[in-house]
Amino acid sequence: MLNNLANKKILLGSKSPRRQELLRGLGISFEVVSIDCDETYPSELKKEAITNFISEAKAKAYPNLQKNEVLITADTLVGLDGLILGKPQDEQAAFDMLQSLAGKAHQVYTSVSLRTTEKLVTFSDRTDVFFDEMSEEEINFYVKNFHPMDKAGAYGIQDWLGYTKVTKIDGCYYNVMGLPLQKLYRTLQKL
């Protein structure tokens, strides 16, 4: 379906198993590449400006891009009442994040950058996620059993917490997993 990329090699600059699974779902062959990048951002940035900045920084940090390659990088964060929730540093931070999300709506922002030797294109998406209340016992169960440390906001919508506590979403489900697929597909078609 992406005939314009038939002679291009797709590189995914992400170790996220969820992003890899989602990209495979588009029927795209790709190679995972490692990118070492400082993910700090200027404090004045807000919402998707943060994810845009980090996604582009990752794309620019890959040093060996060749003429026939397209590099895909991405960054996701959770916003709640003006606060930014990234990946928790430990189990206590994961517990605190989930407790703050319980019974509320929050926003998930993902930015994706596509880089070739000629250009860099970045787009972002936002999804509103609504959570039911959660008991301390439920939060502890999730933290102990579902590895929230590698997830923005300390949860994965595709696992137990999503099954039991997400009451509705407004926007792209796959954006919450870390890759807004419809926008990615459309952007790849135009590239």
pLDDT digits (tens, 9 = 90+) for 55-65: 999 999 999 89
How many CA atoms lie less than 13 Å away from 47 in the CB half-sphere?
13
* Distance from C-alpha of 180 to C-alpha of 163, rounded to nearest angstrom: 20
Residue 187, pLDDT > 60, answer yes
Give yes or no for a contact between 166 and 129, defined as CB atoms under 8 angstroms apart: yes
* Distance from C-alpha of 58 to C-alpha of 8, rounded to nearest angstrom: 20
* Distance from C-alpha of 126 to C-alpha of 180, rounded to nearest angstrom: 9
pTM exceeds 0.85, yes or no: yes
Q: Per-residue pLDDT tens for 120-163?
A: 999 999 999 999 999 999 999 999 999 899 899 999 999 999 99
Query: Which residue among the candidates 75, 125, 128, 170 is catalytic per the annotation?
Result: 75
Catalytic annotation on 96? no
Name the token pair of 125. 């998406």
What is the β-pairing status of strands 31-32 and 9-12? Answer: parallel
List helix spans (H) across the chain.
17-25, 48-61, 91-101, 136-145, 160-165, 173-177, 181-190
